[in-house]
Structure 1
Amino acid sequence: MAELVVFRMEAALAAFGDLQVGERRGSWRRPSHSGIAGLLAAALGLTRDDPAVPVLAQGFLMAVRSDRIGPPLADFHTAQTPPQSRKRSFATRRQELADKDLLGTIVSRRDYWMDVAFTVLIWPKPALTVRPQALAEALNRPAFPLFAGRRSCPFSAPLAARAVSAETVSEGFATYDANLAGPLEQAGLPCLQPGRDVALDAEFPQESWGAITRLHTETRRDLTGSRQSWQFALRQEVVGVFHAPETAGAAA
């Protein structure tokens, strides 16, 4: 029996790190590992340059259930820049824009997903030093504001993080759904309709999947490497579906 952390992410707009090439900032259809690591770090009050951040990022496996995802949205930005031929560095943005006669304009694109809802399961590795209950409490009362990717994407509902006990990934999701349904009904709030699509780290042993059938494997470059140079490592992700319900256990 493993002690897990499960929480939900609901937002009107969301963006999840894809390869950033040129002037387009794309987005995956579901949260990235580095994004979830950053979310946990912000909840715990860790800054980007804190040496505890890469340790935290290496201390867990994750599974993401896609409960709802709306249509894509493209947002275009214009920005003034000096000519690319001018090979010099600038100490400030003000210096960069000082010579107004030589400024040009570039158009960049940022992609988003609208009306999204995901349930995220954190499976701690032995190296993780933060207890699941403490991690859940931090997500519910974060030290820093939390966002669904970019800062322009606030969450539209509480994360409702919980520490649960389960033997498999699918049981962890089922336990979370069952324990959250009662309080939501008492508060007169709608329950999040569970999805069937799930993506989990390929490091999960197959016996820990539970009621999940594998469809295919994807490769994502979203493992936190160097935050100073914005480098990320490759990660294998198994994409599958729930093929049978499971009986939920008790919350931790």
Structure 2
Amino acid sequence: MQRWLHLRLDAPLMAFGGIAIDHVGPTRDFPSASALTGLFANAIGWRREQGSLHQALQDRLVFGALIVAQGRLLTDTQNAKLEANDRGWTTWGRPDERAGATYDSPHRRRRDYLADHDCRVVARLTPGEGPDLDALAAALERPARPLFIGRKPCLPSSPLFAGWVEAEDALGALKALALPGRALWPMTFDAPGSDLADLRNWVTGLHGGSRRVCEGRLP
């Protein structure tokens, strides 16, 4: 039997990200591997530029997720007129600014959120360098910085650390929660799976590949 960290992701608004195209930022129903890595790293107090630490944590992360209450999709459309000297804050180390000779057109962004979504996560770490499960649990209970679920406005409604469960694998850990709902877990050899593009290359900041997962309903 293995020990699994149980997280409750519950908030008025949350966003799990997805494949962004142009100014459109979608959200998945389930948290991605990169989103959970970022959540843990923020709780520990790592900086964004510590890519090797983030990458090592993501490489060790094994998890399953269960939707207890399906949230409704909420879309936030943002329009801002940027003048020639206006700058925008970014996460990649340099300000965003307008280019070209005309500034009459607005700067547009669209971001999707899940409203009143309740998702549970069971997670463990494979052996390797870095924090262990107890360190992650301690960081979630006393985080180095304020925690948010996906985007900074998405503050959790309750403590994220919800205890421990024991099971042989991620599906067994999800069943141990004794909650019905739609679930996602790593693919096993005796079940059909699909590719999920939710990995990040934390050193380059780009898409980092896919993993094989299974999806189904738990009674």
Q: TM-score range by the shorter chain?
A: 0.7 to 0.9
| Superposition map of 1:119-198 within 5 A | 119-127=120-128, 129-173=130-174, 175=176, 194-198=179-183
Deviates more, 1:55-64 or 1:224-233: 224-233
Summarize deviations over 1:106-137 as a string: whole Å, max 9, x none.
33211111101111011221226422222212
Amino acid at match of 2:218: F
1:79-123, Cα deviation, whole Å (9 max, x unpaired): 33579xxxxxxx755xx4699964421332111111011110112
Q: Secondary structure at the match of 1:53?
A: helix
Aligned to 1:230: 206
CA distance in 2, matches of 1:81, 1:21: 21
AA of the residue aligned to 1:47: R
Q: Is 2:44 the counterpart of 1:68?
A: no
DSSP-derived class of the 2:81 partner: strand
Letter in 2 for 1:80: K
1:80 aligned onto 2:81: yes
Superposed, 1:1-252 pairs within 5 Å as 1-50=1-50, 51-81=52-82, 92=95, 96=97, 102-127=103-128, 129-173=130-174, 175=176, 194-202=179-187, 204=188, 217-243=193-219
Classify 1:82/1:238 alpha carbon distance in 2 versus 1 (closer, same or farther; 3 Å): farther
1 or 2, which has the higher helix percentage? 1
Residue identity in the other structure for 2:136: L
Question: Please, what is the CA RMSD of the aligned residues?
Answer: 2.7
Give TM-score scaled by structure 1 length. Answer: 0.73
Q: Distance in 2 between matches of 1:111 and 1:39?
A: 19
Give the gaps of 5 or more residues in structure 1: 84-90, 178-193, 207-213, 244-252
Q: 1:136, 1:163 within 8 Å by CA — same for their partners in 2?
A: no
Of residues 17-26 and 164-173 in structure 1, the stretch that sits farther from structure 2 once superposed is 164-173
Q: What whole-Å deviation, never above 9, does each CA across 1:186-208 have from its counterpart, x for those lacking one? A: xxxxxxxx232110122x565xx
CA distance in 2, matches of 1:42, 1:154: 13
- Asked if the contact 1:140/1:161 (under 8 Å) is kept, the reply is no
- Segment of structure 1 superposing worse, 156-165 or 117-126: 156-165
Counterpart in the other structure of 1:247: none
Aligned-partner SS, 2:193? strand
Q: 1:110 to 1:232 in 2, by over 3 A?
A: same
How many residues are treated as equivalent by the alignment? 209
Cα distance in 2 between the residues matched to 1:229 and 1:175: 35
- Secondary structure class of the residue paired with 1:222: strand
CA 167–22 in structure 1, closer or farther in 2 if over 3 Å, else same = same
The structure, 1 or 2, with the larger RCO (C-alpha pairs under 8 Å, 6+ apart) is: 2
Alignment TM-score, normalising by the size of structure 2: 0.83
- How far 1:170 sits from its partner (Å)? 4.4
